[in-house]
Amino acid sequence: MRVIEPLLIILAMIFPFVGIKSHDLSTYIYWTAVVSLYLAYTTYKRWEIE
Amino acid sequence: MNSFLIVVFLYAVAGTAIALYARKIGIRDDVDYYIAGRNVSGAISALTYAATTYSAFMMIGLVGLSYASGVGAYGFELFYLVGTLMLLTYYAPKIWNMSKELDVVSPAELLGKRFGSATAISVATISLIALIPYTSIQLIGVSLVIEKLSGIGFNAGIAISALLIALWAFIGGLRGVAWTDALQGVIMISASLVALLYVFSMNPDFASEIPKLGDLLVVPNKIWTPSRFISLTVPWFFFALTNPQVFQRIFIPKNERALKRMVVYFGAFGLTYTIIVTLIGLMLRVMSQSGGFPAINDRDLVTPTLLSMMPEWMALFVGLSILAAAITTANSIILSLSSMVSRDLFKNPLAGRMAIIILTLAVAVFASSRPAYIVELAVMSSTLLLSTLPLVVAIVHTRFERGFEALITAFIVGVVLSYLKYPFTGLAVLAIGFSVIMLTNMPKRR
């Protein structure tokens, strides 16, 4: 696991703490999008066992 | 017999039949009994991983937490999911390989192969100390639901839950538990979806009314301060590598392909379930502002209140899903702990089988006494189990052979700081654990 990968994901996950202040579902939708993209990446990336 | 007891009876019959069928496949030794002969498909591995991970906390605790604290609860749960995916994609293939090559069955046994039997015994003991209160909480939660839906007493609910936990684990071992978990995982997610549709039907204008929640829609806010978020998130972030009941599931997929499927399907299940459950909490909170749902101060009463408003068939289905979520988590923990009794503490298969019954009784007695400090103990469980993380990381990344000192030091620090209610106990446990394991394994100078 390259260090950059977890770092990027964690930074993406904490972004709403500093970057989203709107009183609607923006934070909710943003977090859903980040985790969905990461799950898709996990699905399609080549694991070292393959 | 009332309706909910009939549903529970049918559920018990179906689960027992599955466990008996699983037993017919054949149980020759501990490998068959505790890790299903390392021969489980990706889909079943994923469902048992999900059903074990997601407890009654989701439909009771997380619905209530989302209701009370807003979108921060969703972030907290997703941090756990992202952490699990991150750790599993990197560590699971390595740990799966190691468990096969070293022919180990329990998580403590794997650590013991590198760090010695004293460490294995200590890991098993720490797991027992940490997980008995956590399992008791599951029984308490589900017995309250049984009490509310069936009208039978709290202790009778404890007895029914304990019987199902011990019976399915005892009869079918992990294969029985995995198959019953798979069925129950489907029940859990289906019932949550039904509940979401019901709540949405009560207020289809949810999206336009959501701004009423104000600060509950952003982080940080008064409830989700950065320090609170960190203190809650850290212990759960590493759950996949520290909690034996899920760590042991890394051993069970039949091949590399099944292992990858386990992780990916689990991720899809986890994301879907988390979205559904947190949306229920947020929707109910919006409705509480307009009088469509009562304003509730005790967040653990949000789901029971919702159940009391649902049509009977729906309340029974959702109630059953909460029972299933608690049973799947509890029997997986009991089975994992019994594997450590069998392999690490007594090195005797009979002791392991007896441990299923004794541990279930201990959990039931602990739950029925409902000590005031039980919630604190259960919350502590993940923090205390963090003391095993430096050892897990070390077996993958280093050739270190001393882990006992780090384990014990980190555990003691965890107990003391948890007792003092220090907010960053998880971080302190990790800092101490990693520091001690580095220091004790540094090459000696002449």
Closest-CA distance, B79 to chain A, in angstroms, reads 7
Nearest CA in chain B to A33: B271
B203, two tokens: 């207020």
Q: Does A19 touch chain B (CB under 8 A)?
A: no
Tell me the DSSP string of B49-74: HHHHHS-HIIIIIIHHHHHHHTHHHH
Closest-CA distance, B250 to chain A, in angstroms, reads 14
Q: Does A12 touch chain B (CB under 8 A)?
A: no
CB within 8 Å of chain A, chain B residues 220-249: 220, 226, 229
Q: What's the helix, strand, coil split of chain B in %, to 5? A: 85, 0, 15
Residue B144's contacts (CB-CB under 8 Å, 6 or more residues apart) are B154, B157, B304
Give yes or no for a contact between B296 and B67, defined as CB atoms under 8 angstroms apart.
Answer: yes
Angle, CA of B212, B215 and B221, to the nearest 5°: 160
Distance CA B359, CA B337 (A): 8
Mean pLDDT of A24-34: 97
Contact B207 A31 (CB under 8 A): no
Q: Does A49 touch chain B (CB under 8 A)?
A: yes
The predicted pLDDT at position B26 comes to 78
Nearest CA in chain A to B220: A17
Q: B371-410 burial, b for 16+ CB within 10 Å, e for fewer?
A: eeebeebbebbbbbbbbbbbbbbbbeeeebebbbbbbbbb
Nearest CB among B85, B207, B226 relative to A39 is that of B85
**Residue bearing tokens 């740990």:** B95
Torsion of CA B421, B423, B426, B428, to 10 degrees: -90
A17 by Cβ neighbours in 10 Å (0-12 / 13-18 / 19+) ranks as: middle
Residue B280's contacts (CB-CB under 8 Å, 6 or more residues apart) are B63, B66, B192, B195, B196, B199, B306
- Cis amide linkage into residue B220, ω under 30° from 0: yes
Nearest CA in chain A to B92: A49
B381, two tokens: 């469980």
Tell me the DSSP string of B160-185: HHHHHHHHHHHHHHHHHHHHHHHHHH
Distance CA B381, CA B230 (A): 17
Nearest CA in chain A to B209: A24
Residue B77's contacts (CB-CB under 8 Å, 6 or more residues apart) are B62, B274, B278
Distance CA B422, CA B231 (A): 9
Across chain A, mean pLDDT equals 90
Task: Please report residues of B whose CB lies closer than 8 A to that of A1.
Answer: 86, 89-90
Among candidates A48, A47, A46, A36, which has minimal Cα distance to A9? A36
Distance CA A7, CA B289 (A): 39
Say if residue A46's pLDDT is above 90: no
**How many CB atoms neighbour CB B428 within 10 A?**
20
Distance CA A1, CA B234 (A): 20
Task: Please report residues of A whose CB lies closer than 8 A to that of B267.
Answer: 39, 42
Distance CA B434, CA B403 (A): 10
B132 φ/ψ angles, rounded to the nearest 5 degrees: -65, -45
pTM greater than 0.90: yes
**Average pLDDT per run of 10 along chain B, which is 446 residues long?**
87 94 87 95 97 91 94 96 95 96 97 97 96 89 84 90 93 94 95 98 92 95 92 89 97 96 97 98 95 92 92 94 93 96 95 96 91 72 94 96 97 94 92 97 74
Q: Does B98 touch chain A (CB under 8 A)?
A: no
Mean pLDDT of A10-20: 96
B8 φ/ψ angles, rounded to the nearest 5 degrees: -65, -40
Angle, CA of B140, B350 and B168, to the nearest 5°: 40
**Residue bearing tokens 């209530």:** B64
Say if residue A49's pLDDT is above 80: no
